[in-house]
Amino acid sequence: MTRLRCDRAPAWAALQTAFDTHGRTIDLREAFAADPQRFGRFSQQAPYVFGDLSKNLVDEATAQMLLDLAEQCGVAAHRDAMFAGAAINNTEQRAVWHVLLRTPADAPSASALEAQELAKVHSTLDAMLAYAEQVRADDAITDIVNIGIGGSDLGPQMAVLALQAFAHPGKRFHFVSNVDGHELASTLARLQPAHTLFLIASKTFTTIETMTNAASAKGWFTAHGGSDIARHFAALTTNVAAAKDFGIDTTFGFWDWVGGRYSLWSAIGLPIAMAIGADGFREFLAGAHAMDAHFRDTPLATNLPVRMGLLDVWYRNFHRFSSRSVAPYHSALRRLPAYLQQLEMESNGKRVDASGAALPFGTSPVPWGESGTNGQHAYFQMLHQGTDVVPVEFVAVKKARHTLQGHHDLLLANVLAQAQALMQGKADSGGHKHFPGNRPSTMLVLDDLTPAALGALIALQEHRVFVSGALWGINSFDQWGVELGKVLAKDIAPRMRSGDASGLDASTAGLLAMLREG
């Protein structure tokens, strides 16, 4: 079955009619009163993650129409094409095969190519994990500095922080991404060459920010008496030749079918492996693999990433909600919103479909947020009483990994209360104290923030983004929108030194002059 863009499917028109007649006005309080089974009906257990979707603005009929939409658009066939290694990244003619990175070595392969790629995945994984263990056992290395940006930073940084309870106590991890020298300089100020390992993480090994930071780190290393580059620098890249030219011998590779924002499962995940060890990293992969199996093998109606992706489309295209607030009620997940911003917006922030035709509807919502309860004391005011409705995605973790009395119960009481308050609201004639309620939220629940559970949570997010992208008919796996700024920066960089403003618009020329002063 070929893909059909969502707006061309019969279910799209049916959904529009449903939305116009009663979908717009569904009242969650009435829905719960009318259906004592609603919690069970609209929740879904998936590997390591329970999703309560019952506080979302859908009824049974809408949920069924959304499933019809998924059927009619060929979401399952597109998913299967991804799992089979088809070149679904059509603008770059590349497979999108990050699921292979977490496929066990002994899993049956559907093709000779898959078997061949899987063998490469596992030989690199074994080598990378052996290296991770070697560094973990090396007491002289106390500081590991990951230099990378975008997918070569956000995933590893988020995961190392999330799994801090499992991390090697003798290693400090630093993440330098920004070309802003303040970032690298303040990190280097705390380091000693003899005790530092730099990981230069870049899929392409051409990204200007990373190359600039890597060159400065190398300069600092030699200027401060460091001599053994082979021991203190390693590269994580698909461009082994460029890493060699840079002077790095220890390189862990990956392949062009791993997208940058899907690369934390590859060699780019080396800092994670160094933090939590080889066994921990294998558990992380296994958790993601369990979610992959759920996504691949479970009927659409009971498939958590599918149900979440369908809600995303319902909200974006019918309710016209343009953002989603992510509220992890676990401080170790505080980089999750930043990670999700790249995952969702670089994947689905597209205005044309896969054939290049302009889309007549909106795509990527903006995921944003902070860890709970901090967000409550900052922007939750707007979520409860603002003019715009913003669906909230809470993440709650049952088990605490500290022993401080009372904290965790209070944290969990808060996450429940916020979801309840958004839905229930509170009538008040005064206006200022009135809470309209009926504001939607999803609650994702993990038993424990283990490597496996984090792997499953991230894979769930990858797949829900896949589902909405599939329905929108877009290529979720390229990112041409980041190119223009890179080209212009290359043109402007020498002008910072020369002051040459020829050919620039008046604003850019004026600002260039101003920024060069002093």
Judged by the rule CB under 6 A, the positions of this chain that interact with ligand F6P are 149-152, 202-204, 207, 210, 260-261, 346, 479, 482
Q: Are 230 and 250 in contact (CB under 8 A)?
A: yes
The Cα-based distances of 36 to 29, 42, 63, 346 in angstroms read 11, 11, 17, 40
The Cα-based distances of 298 to 45, 59, 260, 276, 389 in angstroms read 11, 22, 27, 31, 31
Cα(440)–Cα(28) distance, integer angstroms: 8
Q: Whole-number minimum distance, CB 372 to ligand F6P, in Å?
A: 28
How large is the greatest C-alpha to C-alpha distance in the chain, in angstroms? 73
Instruction: Please identify which of the residues 22, 244, 377, 426 carries the catalytic annotation.
Output: 377
Instruction: Please identify which of the residues 22, 426, 486, 490 carries the catalytic annotation.
Output: 486
CB-nearer residue toward ligand F6P: 150 or 365:
150
CB-nearer residue toward ligand F6P: 200 or 273:
200
* Count of CB atoms situated within 10 Å of the CB of 513: 11
SS percent in the chain: helix, strand, coil, step 5: 55, 10, 35
Q: Whole-number minimum distance, CB 256 to ligand F6P, in Å?
A: 11
Instruction: Please identify which of the residues 344, 346, 370, 462 carries the catalytic annotation.
Output: 346
Q: Whole-number minimum distance, CB 211 to ligand F6P, in Å?
A: 8
Cα(491)–Cα(68) distance, integer angstroms: 49
Q: Are 11 and 64 in contact (CB under 8 A)?
A: no
Q: Are 67 and 57 in contact (CB under 8 A)?
A: no
Q: Whole-number minimum distance, CB 54 to ligand F6P, in Å?
A: 35
CB-nearer residue toward ligand F6P: 89 or 371:
89
Q: Is 377 a catalytic residue?
A: yes
Q: Are 122 and 104 in contact (CB under 8 A)?
A: no
Q: Is 122 a catalytic residue?
A: no
Q: Is 518 helix (H, G, I), strand (E, B) or coil?
A: coil
Of 26, 28, 34, 27, residue with least CA distance to 318: 26
Q: Whole-number minimum distance, CB 283 to ligand F6P, in Å?
A: 25
Q: Is 55 a catalytic residue?
A: no
Q: Whole-number minimum distance, CB 209 to ligand F6P, in Å?
A: 8
Q: Whole-number minimum distance, CB 201 to ligand F6P, in Å?
A: 7
Q: Is 315 helix (H, G, I), strand (E, B) or coil?
A: helix
CB-nearer residue toward ligand F6P: 233 or 321:
233
CB-nearer residue toward ligand F6P: 255 or 361:
255
The Cα-based distances of 426 to 42, 327, 419, 421, 422 in angstroms read 24, 22, 13, 8, 9
CB-nearer residue toward ligand F6P: 260 or 280:
260
Cα(376)–Cα(379) distance, integer angstroms: 6
CB-nearer residue toward ligand F6P: 343 or 457:
343
Cα(235)–Cα(38) distance, integer angstroms: 51
Q: Whole-number minimum distance, CB 461 to ligand F6P, in Å?
A: 16
DSSP summary character for residue 311: H
CB-nearer residue toward ligand F6P: 47 or 151:
151
Backbone angles phi, psi at 465, to 5 degrees: -70, -35
Active site residues: 346, 377, 486
